[in-house]
Amino acid sequence: MNLALSIIVQTALLLALAPLVSGCIKNWKAKLQNRRGPPPWQPYLDLAKFLRKDMVISEHASWIFRAMPYVLFSSTLLAGLMVPLVSVSAPLSLFGGALAFVGLLALGRFFLALGGLDTASAFGGMGSSREMTIAAIAEPALMLAIFTVAINAGSTNLSQMLAAAQGPTWKLLNPAHVLAFAALFIVLLAETGRIPIDNPATHLELTMIHEAMILEYSGRYLALIEWSASIKQLVLMTLLVNIFFPVGIAVNSSLAAVGISSLCLLLKLFGLAAAIVVVETTNAKLRLFRVPDLLTTAFVLAALALLSTFLFQ
Amino acid sequence: MDQLSATLLLKAALWMYVVAGAGSLLALRKEKLANLAGFGGATLGGLCGIGAALRFLAGPADQDSSFELWNSLVPYVRLTVKLDALGAFFLLILSLLVVALSIYSLGYVKSFYGRKNVAVLGSLYNGLLISTTLVFVAANAFFLLIAWELMALTAYCLVSFEHEKPEARNAGVLYFIMSHIGTGCLILGFLILFQAAGGTSPGDYAFDRFRAIRDNLSAGQRDAVFLLFLFGFGVKAGIVPLHIWLPVAHPVAPSNISALLSGALIKTGVYGVTRVLFDFLGTPPNWWGVTLLTIGTISALLGVLYALMEHDLKRLLAYHSIENIGIIFMGLGASLMFLHTNHPVLASLALIAGLYHTINHAIFKSLLFLGAGAVLHSTHTRNMEEMGGLIKRMPWTAFFFLTGSVAISALPPLNGFISEWLTYQSLLQGFGTTSSLVRIMFPLAGAMLALTGALAAACFVKAFGITFLAQPRSEEARHAHEVPTSMLAGMGLLTAACVFLGLFPTTFLKLFDPLTLQLTGERLSQRLTLANGLVLGTTQQLGGTVSTLGIVLTGLCLLPIPFVLWLLFGRRARTRIGPTWDCGLRGLTPAMEYTATGFSKPIRMIFKALFRPRREVQREYDYSPYFAKTLRFESHIEEAFVTRIYRPLNRGILRLSRRMRALQAGSIQAYLIYIFITLLLLLMFAL
């Protein structure tokens, strides 16, 4: 019963919070660039609008095209349920840890890329090809950084990793942590399609990646895909802030602890969002074949993090 | 009763194959009958084989299952068969595949009617099954080598089965040569062991004897044996850099045979390595494990990278076999390293990871080859650039191929995810087993495994997307049709196996208990199973847990959310079917679709140091290069191992043999002198 309740609460939280974070990033980015920008709650309105709209489906599309939004949505939510959000124990922590988390995101991406190919449009194929390539070269950095934390915690279970991070040995400037954080931050930018790698604001440009894959989607399906994308972003950001800054996370389920924890989480998320906004505003998009250099940097950072664990233990 | 049944079933399986092979040959002119006898009989044999393996693995640990297959007339040769846990596990893999493949073949072989000799195909197929089964159950080195050679010969015949095509002939010859270099190493390895065991009586060839003398071997002998067997079995398994025959030989065989070659035959290499390293040679030095782990990592990465560059569907799958053998070797290598540092529990975990991946790979790779065979059957091409849109024309094949793709990409909730999860866990826990710098290898190997997995996912998005989705790219693909029911049934069986091994790993893990007990002295399944058998854990308390079944059930609970959203917002929304947006042109044509080569271009550019891509573009135009009348485009990548290692080696051997020609004067006197000198040298050496 407790499990069911925590699953429901966390699902609701993920669904409700994700568009807000996306909206805030968009709004702040506009502010920083001296534009007025859409209000932070704009993504909610967009989702409601998409849900109400008619859909046009390509004549070439198969059932993969129709199944994809549901697979993506469920797998992203499932991955989100494995991440500790406000309480140390995530609802699905028994069913899978870091490896299942990465696997579920990959499952969603697999179908997303297939959906891109399904409509016979060259844009879709281009997007799928780039998405899978970038994901592939981001993967080793992501895994190595996760391994570094997992080796310190002695577990791949995200709740256990968080519990270990909360102990008295936690230091803000532990070199292994700083380096792993830097690596994961770059991976975060790649995985969520942020500016040095992909530009979330482009539409119908030859540089687009995520947008190219979902070009043929409309209405309800588009709403699910956009929602999944913002949930994925929220989940990855949460993972980053909670593991590297485990401040104020609720250990028990008393109301006060949960309240403080939620507040802390919001503050930390906004902090990270601000960092993303600054990076996005101060950088230009990289050429596609420069992206591997950036991701190799992330890999090297993660490897250094691992080495420093080795040195300082 | 139990022991009787296991051996009895094994005998029944072997006889069934014999009868099926002979029956197929007897019905030489009656194709339908030959098909039914050859492949129907093999199905029954496979069922008996599954029964034997399961009976044995579920039975008591100390059962005796040895018997003489035949009273050999040749001195020194004893055809002793003995089923043990390791052999039974591989027998299970083989027999599982045999059942599915034989059912598939009943329909597939029909396409050979009137064109090729079905009776010969059926008997060779059964011959291959007999010899492979005997490889797994042979109880002495002599018998193993005989079965090994029989297997290589029948496999050679099957690879070159469509011998009217030059590529099939060449592939057969390459396979034959590589296979024999490997066998040569095996013979040397066994001779060293034989010598150490006394080297006088026929009993010194028995595997039991090898186990008994493991402490008599000197360090140098052990290392020599390790290297010889790694090379010998490695050729068969297809590890880098001994892999070059594999992507050539597997694709040219008929597709049901390709599935058997990639699914079961290369596993004989894995069997051999496990048998020798874990069973015969006792506690290994550290560098063995390090070598295996390194080779595994390199094979996995290079296998998938080369696979990405292929647009021949079957060659792509063959390269993926190299990748997966690499992943299996990573597990085995890690296990050896843990044995060295005396961590038997972890060693068992890594061994289970490797062997679990062995059975998984056997299943999904066969499934994918069968899918490719079905596509080939309908479109008559292996070239992905001429396919497309098949999901609408062959819906079931597409579904089965998709399941196989998800499984091989190690995505939850299917079986590939489980075995890679176990591999990751054993690698991660390996970090704590030693304080030397070697431990840095474990997470790095894990990161490379992650890269491999993600590249495999990219490769299968390409393989499935280009083959089955979007518009058909050729007339043949446009007129493709679904394959007969028996072929679908074969693929369906393997799909079900993928799902079962993915969702219920804790049930399946029990079969590993006798195996790990035999090789590392631990029983692990109890300790890996948590929460009433629903959750897979690692042996350590904190380690990590996963439950694919739990993930799937929770996922099903989440599905009402989109439905509720539809109820709240979208009930009035309608769905229209329309054309894909075509940038204002007059309709999209298949030529505008993304191609397989285009799909993998970013990866080709990123890893250009490895591939050394070369391209040639020729344009003919009247006024401006932008308005070309004709365009010819060619692109190549370098097969580094062939051009850098094998060609120079080949040239060297040819040069040497030209020099040696001077010795072959052709006069009998000279030859007599050679014999005399050799005899003299041998006598000097012996005294």
| Beta bridge pairs of residue B537 | B545
Mean pLDDT for the stretch of residues B31-60: 92
- Please give the distance of CA B8 from its chain centroid, rounded to a whole number: 29
Interface of A with B in 39-58 (CB under 8 A): 48, 51-58
Whether the CB of A190 is below 8 Å from some CB of chain B: the reply is no
Q: Do B412 and A135 touch (CB under 8 A)?
A: no
- E-assigned strands of B206-318? none
- Residue B301 banded pLDDT, cuts 50, 70, 90: very high
Reference B38, options A297, B593, B492, B30; nearest CA is B30
Q: What is the pTM of this model?
A: 0.95
Q: How would residue B347 be classed by pLDDT, with cut points 50, 70 and 90? A: very high
Cross-chain Cβ contact A77/B558 below 8 Å: yes
Determine whether the interchain pair B461/A70 forms a contact, defined as Cβ–Cβ distance below 8 Å.
Answer: no
Contact status, residue B234 vs residue B186, Cβ threshold 8 Å? no
- Average pLDDT rounded to a whole number, residues A24-33: 94
A70, A94, A306 ranked by CB distance to B531: nearest: A94
Contact check, Cβ <8 Å, A55/B573: yes
**8 Å CB contact of B594 and A137:** no
Which residues of A fall within a CB distance of 8 Å from B550? 92, 94-96
**A302 inside 8 A of chain B by CB:** yes
Residue A264 and residue A84 in contact, taking contact as beta carbons nearer than 8 Å:
no
The mean pLDDT of B451-464, rounded to a whole number, is 96
Task: Give residue for tokens 């704590």.
Answer: B432
Q: What pLDDT does residue A1 have?
A: 59
Q: Which of residues 127-146 of A touch B (CB under 8 A)?
A: 128-130, 132-133, 135-144
Phi and psi at B3, nearest 5°, equal -65, -40
d(CA B557, nearest CA chain A) in Å: 9
Tell which residue, B57, B144, B623, has the closest CA to residue B355: B57
Report the Cα B350 to chain-centroid distance in Å. 19
**Distance between CA atoms of B357 and B421, rounded to whole angstroms?**
10
Q: Contact B440/A59, CB-based, under 8 Å?
A: no
DSSP B354-365: HHHHHHHHHHHH
DSSP-derived secondary structure letter, B558: H
User: Strand B66-70 to strand B79-82: parallel, antiparallel, or no bridges (unpaired)?
Assistant: antiparallel
* Residue B404 burial (CB count, 10 A): 30
Contact present, B431 and B439 (Cβ < 8 Å): yes
Give the range of the structural domain holding residue A67, as residue numbers without chain letter. 2-312
Burial of A311 (0-12, 13-18, 19+ CB in 10 A): exposed
DSSP assignment letter at B39? I
Least confident of A223-232, B24-33, B122-131: B24-33
pLDDT tens digits along B144-177: 999 999 999 999 999 999 999 999 999 999 999 9
Distance CA(B281)–CA(B273), nearest Å, equals: 11
CB-based contacts of B508, cutoff 8 Å, min separation 6: B500, B501
Inter-chain contact A74–B558, Cβ cutoff 8 Å?
yes
Q: Across the interface, do A57 and B576 touch by the CB < 8 Å criterion?
A: yes
Backbone torsion region of residue B462, taken as left when φ is above 0, otherwise alpha when ψ lies between -120 and 50, otherwise beta: alpha
Nearest by CB to residue A125, choosing from B578, B581, B598, is B598
Query: Are residues A120 and B561, on separate chains, in Cβ contact within 8 Å?
Result: no
pLDDT band at B475 (very low <50, low <70, confident <90, very high): very high
Residue with tokens 């309480």: A87
| Chain A, chain B: beta-carbon pairs less than 8 Å apart | 289
Give per-residue pLDDT as tens, B546-571. Answer: 999 999 999 999 999 999 999 999 88
Percent with pLDDT over 70 in chain A:
98
**Half-sphere exposure (Cβ direction) of A129: Cα atoms closer than 13 Å:** 25
Question: Average pLDDT of chain B?
Answer: 91
What H or E segment, with its residue span, contains residue B81?
strand B79-82
Contacts of B389 in chain A (CB under 8 A): 60
Q: What is the pLDDT of residue B1?
A: 47
The strand pairing partners of B628, in sequence order, are B621
Q: Do A99 and B558 touch (CB under 8 A)?
A: no
Distances (CA, A) of A254 to A87, A257, A260: 10, 5, 10
Option in B461, B561, B605 nearest A114 (CB)? B461
Of A46, A72, A74, A296, which to mutate for an interface test with B (greatest number of B Cβ within 10 Å)? A74
8 Å CB contact of A121 and B580: yes
**How many angstroms separate the Cα of B662 from the Cα of each of A213, B470, B535?**
67, 63, 70
CB contact under 8 A, B599 and A129: yes
Question: Contact B411/A110, CB-based, under 8 Å?
Answer: yes
Q: What is the ipTM of this complex?
A: 0.96
* Interface contact A219-B570, CB threshold 8 A: yes
Pairing of strands B575-578, A55-58: parallel
Please tell me the distance from the alpha carbon of residue B639 to that of residue B683, in angstroms, as a whole number: 47
Q: d(Cα B89, Cα B97) in Å, to the nearest integer? A: 13
d(CA B419, nearest CA chain A) in Å? 12
- Are B246 and B238 in contact by the 8 Å Cβ rule? The answer is yes
pLDDT score at A312: 67
For residue B220, what is the DSSP state?
Answer: H
The confidence band for B660, taking pLDDT boundaries of 50, 70 and 90, is: confident
> In terms of CA atoms, which chain A residue is nearest residue B410?
A103
User: Residue holding tokens 């298949």?
Assistant: B590
Number of domains within chain A: 1
CA distance A257 to chain B (A): 25
Average pLDDT of the residues in B122-146: 94
Confidence at residue B677, expressed as pLDDT on a 0 to 100 scale: 93
B450 → closest Cβ in A56, A60, A140: A140
CB of A149 within 8 Å of any CB in chain B? Answer: no
By CA distance, what is B558's nearest residue in A? Answer: A74
pLDDT digits (tens, 9 = 90+) for B527-549: 888 877 778 887 776 678 899 99
Q: Is A9 on the interface with B (CB under 8 A)?
A: no
Residue from the list A7, A125, A160 with its beta carbon closest to the beta carbon of B593: A125
Q: What is the CA radius of gyration of chain A?
A: 19
Which chain A residue shows the shortest CA-CA distance from B432?
A151
Is-cis flag, bond preceding B413, omega within 30? yes
Closest residue, chain A, to B388 (C-alpha): A120
Enumerate the residues of chain A whose CB falls inside 8 A of the CB of residue B451: 136-137, 139-140
Residue among B439, B465, B601 minimizing CB distance to A117: B465
Residues of B in contact with A6 (CB under 8 A): none
Decide if A242 touches B, using CB distance below 8 A: no
Kindly tell me the burial class for residue A284, based on how many C-beta atoms sit within 10 Å of its own C-beta (0-12, 13-18, 19 or more). exposed
Separation in Å, CA of A289 to nearest CA in chain B: 7
Q: Does position B408 have pLDDT exceeding 90, yes or no?
A: yes
